[in-house]
Structure 1
Amino acid sequence: MKSKLSLAAGLIVGIFLLSGCATSPPSNPENICSIFEENRDWYEAAIDTREKWGAPVHVPMAIMYQESSFKHNAAPPMQYFLWIIPVGRASDAWGYSQAKTVSWDEYIDETGNWFADREDFDDAIDFMGWYIHKTSRVNKVSKWDAYHQYLNYHEGRTGYRRKSYNKKPWLLKVARKVDNRAKRYSQQYWGCKDELSRNWFMRTFF
């Protein structure tokens, strides 16, 4: 009898741990309320990022959607020589945030988050909050300005100051797309944030 109870307890713990580590993209990525209802731990991580770095919830989420479509192991497409021989990827960007290794290492050095993993949502959105915060401080771009924050995120802060984006009309269109999605996310979030917060409180303490 005890062995059966132990087995059942182990299964329950295993299911709980797996549910907290789900890596599948959200079923409705166009709606931030649905994203957070489906991934409660993501909501808590987004709130932690806002409180820590001052990055409004909808901005890093809109950028993350653009960069990885919320795929934990997203990477730039493989490049081929003569359309046959793989020669590597366009960059070493990886994970939810599509952070490049040099930027990720800078983040770890400055925050001391030594065990951070680009495939972990909590670490990825914390990285993005850090990047948005530093962009605001270094390049004087509002944390609420998804358009210019994305240009910094894509081109790097030095590239942004050099206005490298002006030579990339396609990138300006993408930045506008991110900005529009951020605005939709913001509107959606303000419609469900009280319910999300209430449910988070109930889940945490009751």
Structure 2
Amino acid sequence: MLRQFGRPGIRRILFLLVALALGSCSSTSRPGVSNTEDACVIIREQPDWYQAAKRTQQRWGTPPEVLFAIIWRESSFRADARTPRTYFLGVPTGRVSSAYGYAQAIDGTWDWYRESTGNSWADRDDFRDAADFVGWYTNRSTKVIGLSPSDAYSHYLAYHEGHAGFQRGRWRDKKWLRDVAAQVNGQAARYRSQLARCGG
């Protein structure tokens, strides 16, 4: 029996099976656009995403540039983005968190969103649902904390820390997080300028 597995045909089949299994473990796909930092490219290559962003703005008041900037930071516009794996003695034990999809929503917050909106069939790897989730969450941040809808910096902090964490000011002791929020804010400003040229 062992000698049968040494035959070239069997070896190739086993190699392909292993390659497929390893490929299915990949945590991130390629981004859905060729340049994730250019809103005009996003509109041209994924017009449905821009329509989803406009619907989110109409429903929740979240400007497209803020929505895009949060998703840019959270997943780089990858549908199946996940947090890194964790290991114990070289054995995979899970992931850093349950965050998944375009918006990197964790299980509990995603369930809260679905229950709150009635969107029980929402999927985190569907851009329309992810965009609506970000709009819903930032709308709650506006209502609970009093943030301006266009304040990408503060919205990202609240998105990362949660409303209670933001209000307690936990982010003030996290320079790295403030730096990331500044990146999000800068990207939102670039998206806003780009959308003024090509957003229609």
Letter in 2 for 1:90: V
State the Cα RMSD in Å: 1.0
Q: TM-score, normalised by structure 1?
A: 0.81
Letter in 2 for 1:94: Y
Aligned ranges 1:13-162 → 2 under 5 Å = 24-82=31-89, 84-162=90-168
The percent identity for this pair of structures is: 46
**Per-residue deviation, 1:25:** 2.2
1:168 maps onto 2:174 in alignment? yes
Aligned ranges 1:177-188 → 2 under 5 Å = 177-188=183-194
**Per-residue deviation, 1:33:** 0.9
Query: Is contact 2:43–2:199 with CA below 8 Å preserved after alignment?
Result: no
Cα separation, 2, equivalents of 1:158 and 1:86? 32
Indicate the SS of the match to 2:73. Answer: helix
Aligned to 1:198: none
Deviation readout 1:26-71 (Å, 9 max, x if unpaired): 1011101111110011111111101111100100100000000000
Q: TM-score, normalised by structure 2?
A: 0.83
Indicate the SS of the match to 2:199. Answer: helix
Cα separation, 2, equivalents of 1:185 and 1:105? 30
**Per-residue deviation, 1:24:** 4.5
Query: Is contact 2:98–2:107 with CA below 8 Å preserved after alignment?
Result: yes
Cα separation, 2, equivalents of 1:134 and 1:151? 13
Indicate the SS of the match to 1:37. Answer: helix
Cα separation, 1, equivalents of 2:145 and 2:176? 22
Letter in 1 for 2:51: E
Residues matched between the structures, number? 171
Cα separation, 1, equivalents of 2:163 and 2:129? 21
Cα separation, 1, equivalents of 2:102 and 2:113? 15
**Per-residue deviation, 1:123:** 0.2
